[in-house]
Amino acid sequence: MSSPPAATAPATARTPLTPAHWAIIFTASLGGFLEVLDTSIVNVALTSIQAHLGATLAEVGWVVTGYAMANVVILPLTAWLGNGFGRRGYFVFSLAGFTIASVVCGMAPNLPLLVTARIIQGLLGGGLLAKSQAILFETIPKDRQGFAQAVFGLGIISGPALGPTVGGYLTDLLSWRWIFLINLPFGIFAVMMALRALPPDQKKPAPSLASVDWLGILLLIFWLGSLQIVLEQGEQYAWFDDRGIVALSLTAALSCPAFIWWELRHPNPAVQLRVLRHRSLAAGSILSMIVGIGLYGTVFLIPIFAQGVLQFTAIQTGLLMLPGALASGATMLVLSKKVQQLDPRRVITAGSICTALVMFSLAGINPNTGEDALFWPLIFRGVGTVLMFLPLSLAALGDLSPQEINGGSAFYNLTRQLGGSFGIAMLTSLLSHGRDHHRAYLTESAGALSLQLRMRLFQMEQMLHARGVDPQLAHRRALELVDHQVDLQASLLAYADIFHLLAILFLAAIPLVLLFRAPKARQVS
């Protein structure tokens, strides 16, 4: 006799999401989205900020560096802060403080106040990023984590891509101040939602000041703060030719092992490094850093290419990135329905291969590359990023106990942020040095082919002279045109080198998926 249908129902039925669950998912995802949006929304407005506040390029760079530095310093501490002051209390405090700091940024009359407010914004924003994901893992049923993490991931992935679009529109149509003031209505709404949706914290005694790991916090600030400044400012100051960069690099190099040694022996460490004993979290954190390099690196490179080579405006550049962000969203929602039934190792491998193929495709860009030629590579980049991001979050954090979720989520998000910082710093340096290297080679090659070069110059001079340009001026302009073409070709070769390197990096990361457990083993545990 066959088994009745009711006997198999519990195995396939999924826990229904209540209105309370939906409110938590929306609130946590909105908080994370606001934080990552502010990492890139300011980039297209730096020139305008520099002009309005009378700052140098090096000075205005601290608007970005201060935020990023504060972000990475606070991320590892969010688990300790959340445990000490309550999940709901810390999240609401971070949301409210982030919103207030955004308003101060938008109204800042001078650069020092703007940078100070950005640092405060980064400290509070880091709390939003880590706690958002931890809240979802702690409050949403385990069999609906795929959907919850997809909605959260949609904001994390689309935020950096939408930032230049939103920032370009607000800066061009209103002013740079609105890239910060726009957070006010969304921040107020998110605070109200958090107060209503998140369950109250359990009453617990406030942490004793005597039990606080002050030395661990200090070493963490020295390590990550110094490292972030080196990554953000190193290229601008010629790296190790600058004494300040050398001093900060030594500080980071010495404080890192000291921090790890101290945290592993402290009875109540500020950062729970012991969560890395979980093989999936350790491997997932390394892959998260690579995803950060690819996510933030390409969002950084494509706008520079579009504006520097294709001569796009800020708005055009933002619109160029928009279809890829929409593709990420669509893929995220489709994948969320099946991701918990799929082998994460296969999905992550597919995402790595897809992203690597996109990087190889982008290596073929040239001066004639237009928006249409970039459309499909950026679409598939969005798809490939999601194929890595969503199963990676579930595989890395899914096996942690409720007591370890806070620490694991904080460390996992830190690696992605550091990957973005490493990636942008590395790509900036490679782009600059690659351009110089290829220009020197092309110039040398042009000298060896002096006959062809003279013929080319003669043709250009004749063309300009036919248009009524004075012969001496025509000669000078012809030289300028040739020099411009050499610069352009050198830049394109440098871009091609970088995209090839990124492709190899994604392919080299694939063996790390072998460290994740097979789905059956994960379900039994």
Looking at residue 101, its pLDDT comes to 92
Rg of the Cα atoms in the chain: 25
Tell me which amino acid residue 139 is. Answer: T
Pick the CATH number of 281-525 from 1.20.1250.20, 1.10.260.40, 1.10.8.60, 2.40.50.100: 1.20.1250.20
Residue given tokens 């921090």 in the structure block? 259
212 CB burial (10 A radius; 0-12, 13-18, 19+): middle
Q: Which two tokens stand for residue 161?
A: 């891509």
Residue 311 Cα distances to 238, 317, 368, 505, angstroms: 27, 9, 12, 29
- According to the model, what pLDDT value does residue 525 have? 35
- Predicted pLDDT at 10: 46
Taking the alpha carbons at both ends of the chain, their separation in whole angstroms is: 33
Domain 19-200 has CATH 1.20.1250.20: yes
**According to the model, what pLDDT value does residue 2 have?**
45
Q: What is the pLDDT of residue 99?
A: 92
C-alpha–C-alpha distance, residues 230 and 255, integer Å: 14
Dihedrals φ, ψ of 271, to 5°? Answer: -125, 125
Which stretches in the chain have pLDDT values below 50? 1-11, 521-525
The model carries a pTM of 0.72
Structure tokens at 6: 């009711």
* Neighbouring C-alpha atoms within 13 Å toward the C-beta of 263: 23
* Closest residue by Cα to residue 29 from 101, 136, 121, 167: 136
What's the pLDDT score for residue 457? 63
Is residue 402 within 8 A of residue 351, CB to CB? The reply is no
